[in-house]
Amino acid sequence: MAFKCKIGLHSWNGCKCSECEKTRDEQHDWSADCEKCSKCGKIRENHHNWLKDCEICDTCNKTRENYHIWIKCICSTCGKDKHHWERSICKFCGQDNSKIATDLLFKGAISGDIHEVNQAILAGADLAAIDEQGWPAILQAASSGMIEIVKAILMAGVDINKKYTNKKGEKNLTILHIASYCGHTELVKYLINYGADINAQDDDGSTSLFNAVVRNHFETVKVLLEGGANINLSRKGITPQMYSFSQKYSGINKLLYDYNKKPNNDLIINLPPNKLNETYKTIKIGTQEWMAENLNVSHFRNGDIIIEANTDDEWMKAADDRWPVCCSYQDNPENDKKYGKLYSWYAVSDPRGLAPEGWHIPSDEEWKQLTDFLEVETAGIKMKSIDGWKEDSRGGISTNESGFNGLPIAKCASGPRFGIYGISGAWWSSTSEDTKNAWSRDLISYRKELTRELEWKWHGLSIRCIKD
């Protein structure tokens, strides 16, 4: 038989060309032995006939690992187990794999292997399981400062402010307590931004600030103070400053002393906005009293500044880290007075409080009450502002007869950062659906109703408040 190739024309006789004696690799007759050519004796690696047994070649008896014919979970030849896991349960036989997944979770949390941790979470690991010390995996990761692992477990549904008791009998420990005690400053920053209770006290009164002071973690103390830690909370009558002074921690002493000297702005920060109607218009719709304008605040109720993310990069960084952020429509602060600010849902859910005192951000159910009162099919027409909306016969003519005055400013997302003006407006509810999504309400130019939407939590939407 002749074969044309780059070198020329060859006539293969067995394994060599009959004219030039060149060998053609793979031109062999493997009939005599599974690994040797019957003509040239050349070995062909891994050439086996797997007939006698699922793991042993019937010619040379060489084993082939994991060669099986699976019927459901059991190999039909040798009976070896194999499962198809959906979360922690095999979809074929119902076997529970949660213990294996949980062991893998602890292994990854201790070693710092984020891949193992993610695998374990997907396989249905018990996130509340504790080790011999009484610690769950998230506290193990927090004690080592493993931000990505802590983040992964939090995003899987663990409560950031859950309180734990260890085998030593220490009670009401939080993730932030552990991270602060161990001096993991970057993790402490992340936990504060994520919504950890910075002033939570354990069973003997220790706060995260006290823990950081005890261990002389200067940078961690600084971050906690900047995050709003209460310097006066004491452990058995001893404040952080008293403890630091007794231990002669000069750097922390000065830090706490300087912080204590700052003017007390509490009277300004905490003044309840009783004169709300002088700042925001309000409207009674049914039995509910709503703001008739979008919320426009740059501080939480406790006085902390809300981070402004004014570029795509800043906004996406905040999305990755689940920070509470806001921005101005079209990144122009001059728009704030008319349109209010746009907020991520992490700002909505932040425990420091976004709505003014006496008001709150409406739940999904409260939005439903509003639309039921206005009649579901035409609520949107009655809620849209008279001006600004793109004309579309499908959406009817905006009347604003409810007084809600919904403006058509698009949400803040990415690519492009803002949508087209005149097409839609969107407002958050306080109701979360899962770790990534929350419920919102949208007015759309071509729809007559107010639509209920599931929105990514990192998107920037307008906010309307409802009276308590």
Q: Burial of 230 by CB count in 10 Å (0-12 exposed, 13-18 middle, 19+ buried)?
A: middle
Q: Which residues pair with 440 in a beta bridge?
A: 428, 453
> What local confidence, expressed as pLDDT, does residue 64 receive?
47
436-450: per-residue pLDDT in tens?
A: 999 999 999 899 999
> What local confidence, expressed as pLDDT, does residue 50 receive?
45
Global pTM value: 0.44
Local confidence band at 272 (pLDDT 50, 70, 90 cut-offs): very low
Residue 28 has pLDDT above 60, yes or no: no
Residue 88 has pLDDT above 70, yes or no: no
Residues 6+ apart with CB under 8 A from 70: 76, 82
Q: For the chain, count helices (H), then strands (E).
A: 17, 17
Q: Is the bond preceding residue 416 a cis peptide, omega within 30 degrees?
A: yes
| Contact assessment for residue 188 and residue 223, using Cβ atoms and an 8 Å cutoff | yes
Rounded Cα distance between 221 and 231, Å, is 10
Using DSSP's 3-state secondary structure scheme, residue 381 falls into helix
291-335: per-residue pLDDT in tens?
A: 999 999 988 888 878 888 888 877 887 788 788 889 999 989 999
All domains in the chain, ordered by first residue: 1-10+34-127 (no CATH), 159-261 (1.25.40.20), 282-467 (no CATH)
Could you report how far apart the first and last alpha carbons of the chain are, in Å?
91
Of 26-30, 162-166, 193-197, 284-288, the one with minimum mean pLDDT is 26-30
Local confidence band at 235 (pLDDT 50, 70, 90 cut-offs): confident
DSSP character for 155? H
